[in-house]
Structure 1
């Protein structure tokens, strides 16, 4: 029977869940995650990658739906794709920690496009978004870091399934139809990590492709198109094909549905770089503040990290010490430590062409090395430890067991609102900021339609 499969059980859960079933804190956090996502979309809207994406998609079609943070109007699938690119573009968007999935970057554009297409309300949009996060997170959790180890970007893989659930819910499909959307989207759920070799922009496409593919899968599911029944657990299902033989945990997908909300375990980023680098930024900044040291005092820095995370942010070491472009720098702990130690901060200002060429950052990055961390909590937390040797022979150390933004060390709602304000100041006036904030925080109260929300969040 359909419900006996994982896709079937997730389909039943999504079909039966109403916004009133979500705990108040989950609804409140969902609104703040949307606020964060829209803010990072705005601060990315004028970047070169956004301009090229607009050129590419504008050459395919025009007219249709509003796009987050832009004046463009595009067909639903392209609006979702561009929205995902903007949210994920600076790598400043949220991450579900245990799954290593950027959940909002696909769930929000997919839900927005599907909700507008179906004429849904803002509250229906918010519910579908929360369900999308829940499924994306659980798909990633079941792999326990295995997608990364096998060379797949979990956001592109897991995000497609969560987005399909969100889109199918909004399309009014029943449990069987929501299952079918997952069973169909599994054939397009992907995203490879090869961007790490040269800082390619392909990673920015992954959440948008997940959202766009989910809309396509939903349209096919609505016609009764048969999908692969055991898309998750089958002989050639997701985990058999995407983990390179590694084990996975089926229970993570369905245990505690509706009782344990993984949305609560979504971390909002304090820094615009790969989440694996954040605890290292905090560690070096904390050590400098505690010991009153500067870059001139430091002779050597050794970092302790889990091998899977190290493959993303430390290897190959010589390249990570000299990132080839700004996107490459976001996945370099040597660069991040160099920026923090030489400038005392890690903001978007540290990811500019001038910063990339800063000899002070290079000098520190050349001192950074790494080794395995036997005490890491990865992937449950992105731990970091640093051991610093000074020119005077002293050795100092600092450990961040849990990265800031983790559910054990969350950014407060006030922190998220301040981050939103800071990002919006880079791209929008006060009137626009106020309008967007009101639209987002009004979602939980069911204020207006999804189209009203989309228009309010566009330029």
Structure 2
């Protein structure tokens, strides 16, 4: 008898998992993550990238599935694609810290689309979503940060596999079928980091493409289409082809499934920028508040960061001091530090055209230098250390071993609620905010997934919501 492969092990676990098996804290955190995801989707709905995505997908046809925050009706795969773009578009969505994967941005669109296709309840949809988050996180964890080192975006890779498990589960596939969905999606998992060199928008596509591919893979697996059994561990499997010979840990994927939940290690973001910049925002804002100096008092800023993270948000330094566009600014430590020092905050307002051209931010970004951090906890945490030298000769130092929002420093339930409300108020009224809050709180009930999706769209809710 053959030993089960990683995909088959996951398939067995996923096929057997029921809502009653989920611990209370997993259900509660899952609801918080969904609330956060829907909120960031709404605040992205009127952005240029959303409009262009709608235009592109409209060329491919329409359908019947609702889309988060919008009145569009699309096919299941295109609805999943657009939902992934909306959730991930501002880079304000959750991240599983150790795996460096934006887990909800692919798991939730796949869960919504597949649950509607298969007439599932929100209880079943929530189980599918939890599985997608759990599997994506574990596949990313097994690489020990190695995907980033060789230029792949873990969200596009790991997210496709997790979303395929979600889609297979909600399609009613058995253990073999869910394994098959992973085996097929391995040929679709993708995402390169070249966008970091010029602020291109391709990263925004990665979780949506992962979700869309997952639905395709589950359909092919359900039809009996064979995929490679050893899609993870084979000589041409995911890790052999995407880690350039670096070690990976199969145990990280399967150990403790159902007992230890990586979903609980998924962090809600306090800032709308790359997570690797967050420790620097934390440190600079704390120093600015405690020391009470003015931006014009700053002579020099020295930032210590792990080399892998630095490659994404600090290199090349001269260009990072002058991001090409707003998306590029989200991946720039000099820009983030300059914005925090200049304005005393880091919100969506710091990522506008006016902010990008702000000479006060430019002056401070020009004073940022970067060095390796030998004490960084990366990738277990996105550590940062900052030294600010003032014109009067004072040197102010702060180290953030763990970024705020990390499971060791989580946002409170109230902070997550406040973030959701602020994001929703950018586009909707109190009636809409309450409507969405209520249906997310109801996740895990016998209400249909379609009702959830309708309430989270820009279409009127049954019973009286207004069109945005």
**TM-score category by the smaller chain?**
over 0.9
Q: Structure 1 residue 424 and structure 2 residue 424: aligned?
A: yes
Q: Aligned pair count?
A: 458
Deviation at 1:338, TM superposition (A): 0.5
Q: Structure 1 residue 433 and structure 2 residue 433: aligned?
A: yes
Deviation at 1:198, TM superposition (A): 0.4
Deviation at 1:277, TM superposition (A): 0.3
Distance (whole Å) between structure 2 residues aligned to residue 261 and residue 108 of structure 1: 17
* Higher deviation after alignment, 158-167 or 386-395: 386-395
Distance (whole Å) between structure 2 residues aligned to residue 252 and residue 87 of structure 1: 27
Distance (whole Å) between structure 2 residues aligned to residue 323 and residue 339 of structure 1: 12
Structure 2 residue aligned with 1:263: 263
Distance (whole Å) between structure 1 residues aligned to residue 31 and residue 395 of structure 2: 45
Does structure 2 retain, via aligned residues, the 8 Å contact 1:2–1:176? Answer: no
Does structure 1 retain, via aligned residues, the 8 Å contact 2:12–2:176? Answer: yes
Does structure 1 retain, via aligned residues, the 8 Å contact 2:280–2:386? Answer: yes
Alignment of 1:86-105 (within 5 A): 86-105=86-105
Distance (whole Å) between structure 1 residues aligned to residue 371 and residue 54 of structure 2: 41
3-state SS of the aligned residue for 2:234?
coil
Does structure 2 retain, via aligned residues, the 8 Å contact 1:98–1:379? Answer: yes
Deviation at 1:432, TM superposition (A): 1.0
Does structure 1 retain, via aligned residues, the 8 Å contact 2:63–2:76? Answer: no
Alignment of 1:181-200 (within 5 A): 181-200=181-200
Structure 1 residue aligned with 2:297: 297
Does structure 2 retain, via aligned residues, the 8 Å contact 1:122–1:448? Answer: yes
Structure 2 residue aligned with 1:240: 240
Deviation at 1:393, TM superposition (A): 1.5
Does structure 2 retain, via aligned residues, the 8 Å contact 1:3–1:9? Answer: no
Deviation at 1:232, TM superposition (A): 0.3
Aligned alpha-carbon RMSD (Å): 0.7
Structure 2 residue aligned with 1:386: 386
Deviation at 1:388, TM superposition (A): 1.2
Alignment of 1:299-338 (within 5 A): 299-338=299-338
Structure 2: which 5+ residue stretches go unaligned?
459-468
Structure 2 residue aligned with 1:343: 343
Distance (whole Å) between structure 1 residues aligned to residue 64 and residue 369 of structure 2: 50
Q: Structure 1 residue 452 and structure 2 residue 451: aligned?
A: yes
Deviation at 1:389, TM superposition (A): 1.1
Structure 1 residue aligned with 2:226: 226
3-state SS of the aligned residue for 2:286?
helix
Deviation at 1:447, TM superposition (A): 4.3
Deviation at 1:64, TM superposition (A): 1.6
* Moved segments of 4+, more than 2 Å: none
Q: What TM-score do you get using the length of structure 2 for normalisation?
A: 0.97
Distance (whole Å) between structure 2 residues aligned to residue 161 and residue 194 of structure 1: 22
Does structure 2 retain, via aligned residues, the 8 Å contact 1:110–1:211? Answer: yes
Does structure 2 retain, via aligned residues, the 8 Å contact 1:2–1:229? Answer: no
List per-residue Cα deviations over 1:81-128 (Å, max 9, x = no partner).
000000000000000000000000000000100000000001100110
Distance (whole Å) between structure 2 residues aligned to residue 427 and residue 453 of structure 1: 19
List per-residue Cα deviations over 1:199-228 (Å, max 9, x = no partner).
000000000000000000000000110001
Distance (whole Å) between structure 2 residues aligned to residue 162 and residue 3 of structure 1: 22
Deviation at 1:132, TM superposition (A): 0.3
Deviation at 1:3, TM superposition (A): 6.2
Q: What TM-score do you get using the length of structure 1 for normalisation?
A: 0.99
Alignment of 1:379-418 (within 5 A): 379-418=379-418
Structure 2 residue aligned with 1:114: 114
Deviation at 1:262, TM superposition (A): 0.1
Structure 1 residue aligned with 2:358: 358
Distance (whole Å) between structure 2 residues aligned to residue 159 and residue 209 of structure 1: 9
Deviation at 1:2, TM superposition (A): 6.8
Structure 1 residue aligned with 2:443: 443
Structure 1: which 5+ residue stretches go unaligned?
none
List per-residue Cα deviations over 1:266-307 (Å, max 9, x = no partner).
000000000000110010010111111121111110100000
Structure 2 residue aligned with 1:207: 207
* Higher deviation after alignment, 197-206 or 287-296: 287-296
List per-residue Cα deviations over 1:54-99 (Å, max 9, x = no partner).
0000111112200011100000000000000000000000000000
Alignment of 1:164-183 (within 5 A): 164-183=164-183
Deviation at 1:413, TM superposition (A): 1.4
- Return the structure number with greater helix share: 1
Deviation at 1:251, TM superposition (A): 0.4
Distance (whole Å) between structure 1 residues aligned to residue 63 and residue 165 of structure 2: 26
3-state SS of the aligned residue for 2:232?
coil
Distance (whole Å) between structure 2 residues aligned to residue 352 and residue 96 of structure 1: 27
Does structure 2 retain, via aligned residues, the 8 Å contact 1:2–1:8? Answer: no
Does structure 1 retain, via aligned residues, the 8 Å contact 2:297–2:391? Answer: yes
